[in-house]
């Protein structure tokens, strides 16, 4: 008898929990959304994506949730709409216990900016993908100009830019990277009125080490304004062009 009563109590408890969950879920579905908050990661450092742009995008697709019942709000549709913005890396849209909707967004992170000889301008992001330039914000990354192809930008120039990120002294010293029509890569430094011809970026750590030795044994002795061009492309030698 006691075992039977325990089974009855257990069944009643389960039934109550199921009923309560369904009841409160129905109440929740009928509740109106009171707020829509856009949270953008790293917005203090990079501001490619602005809150007002996301709100306009959601409104334009008639998906803005404020004033709608939660049963009529499609968070997946809101997320997919936000992801149509090419400056957004990831987006997560969820409800809050306080009766609101939050869109948590992560922006794409550029590694280099490219300005081609034909006037095309774009970024390459951390995933080696082409990223559009926005007039709303400019981020400090190495600038590559000249006869640049997308393949070159996404491969060897990307790898070189990541090397610069890992080596703060080089990153701070190199102002611009130029690609000439013969595919020679040329570094424009912030200090010194000369250019550094790398040739290809193959074995660039070796070439940069060769340049450091030349600075110690040459430029620091002869002066930094003696040459207009320092060429590192030839093995075991440094070829300089005098002004």
Q: Are residues 153 and 217 in the same domain?
A: yes
Q: Are residues 118 and 45 in the same domain?
A: no
pTM of the model: 0.76
pLDDT for the residue 186: 96
> CA quadruple 87, 89, 94, 100: dihedral positive or negative?
negative
Q: Are residues 115 and 235 in the same domain?
A: yes
What single DSSP character describes residue 219? I
Q: Are residues 73 and 116 in the same domain?
A: no
pLDDT for the residue 4: 46
Q: How many domains does the chain have?
A: 2
Q: Are residues 97 and 115 in the same domain?
A: no
Q: Are residues 177 and 235 in the same domain?
A: yes
The pair of structure tokens assigned to 102 is: 């939050």
Q: Are residues 160 and 232 in the same domain?
A: yes
Mind listing the pLDDT tens digit for each residue in 194-227?
899 999 999 999 999 888 887 777 666 666 677 7
User: Where are any strands of DSSP class E within 29-180?
Assistant: 35-41, 88-95, 100-107, 110-116, 121-125, 130-131, 143-146, 174-179
Domain containing 81 equals 32-107
Mind listing the pLDDT tens digit for each residue in 155-189?
999 999 999 999 988 888 898 999 999 999 999 98
Q: Are residues 44 and 118 in the same domain?
A: no
Would 94 be classed as within a structural domain?
yes
We report the CATH number of the domain holding residue 61 as 3.10.20.310
Q: Are residues 61 and 145 in the same domain?
A: no
- Which of 192, 198, 233, 236 minimizes the C-alpha distance to 215? 192
The total of other beta-carbon atoms located within 10 Å of residue 112's CB is 23
Question: What tens-digit pLDDT sequence spans the chain (243 residues)?
Answer: 545 444 544 444 454 334 333 433 444 567 999 999 999 988 777 888 999 999 999 999 999 999 999 989 999 999 999 999 999 999 999 998 888 999 999 999 999 999 999 999 999 999 999 999 988 787 888 999 999 999 999 999 999 999 999 998 888 889 899 999 999 999 998 877 889 999 999 999 999 988 888 777 766 666 667 778 889 988 878 887 787
Would 148 be classed as within a structural domain?
yes
Would 8 be classed as within a structural domain?
no
Interstrand relation of 100-107 and 35-41 (parallel, antiparallel or unpaired): parallel
Q: Are residues 155 and 94 in the same domain?
A: no
We report the CATH number of the domain holding residue 191 as 3.40.50.11690
pLDDT for the residue 74: 94
Would 162 be classed as within a structural domain?
yes
Q: Are residues 120 and 50 in the same domain?
A: no
């Amino acid at each position: 008898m006691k075992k039977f009563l325990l089974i009855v109590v257990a069944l009643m408890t389960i039934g109550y929990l199921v009923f309560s969950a369904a009841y409160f879920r129905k109440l929740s579905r009928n509740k109106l959304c009171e707020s829509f908050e856009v949270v953008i990661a790293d917005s203090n450092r990079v501001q490619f994506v602005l809150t007002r742009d996301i709100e306009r995008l959601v409104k334009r697709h008639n998906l803005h949730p404020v004033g709608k019942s939660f049963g009529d709000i499609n968070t997946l549709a809101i997320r997919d709409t936000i992801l149509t913005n090419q400056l957004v890396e990831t987006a997560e849209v969820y409800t809050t216990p306080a009766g609101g909707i939050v869109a948590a967004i992560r922006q794409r992170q550029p590694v280099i900016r490219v300005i081609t000889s034909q006037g095309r301008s774009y970024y390459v992001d951390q995933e080696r993908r082409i990223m559009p330039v926005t007039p709303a914000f400019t981020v400090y990354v190495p600038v590559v100009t000249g006869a640049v192809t997308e393949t070159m930008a996404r491969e060897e120039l990307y790898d070189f830019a990541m090397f610069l990120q890992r080596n703060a002294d080089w990153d701070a010293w190199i102002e611009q990277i130029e690609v000439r029509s013969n595919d020679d890569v040329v570094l424009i430094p912030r200090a010194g009125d000369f250019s550094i011809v790398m040739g290809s970026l193959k074995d660039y750590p070796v070439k940069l080490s060769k340049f450091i030795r030349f600075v110690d044994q040459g430029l620091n002795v002869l002066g930094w304004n003696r040459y207009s061009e320092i060429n590192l492309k030839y093995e075991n030698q440094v070829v300089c062009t005098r002004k």
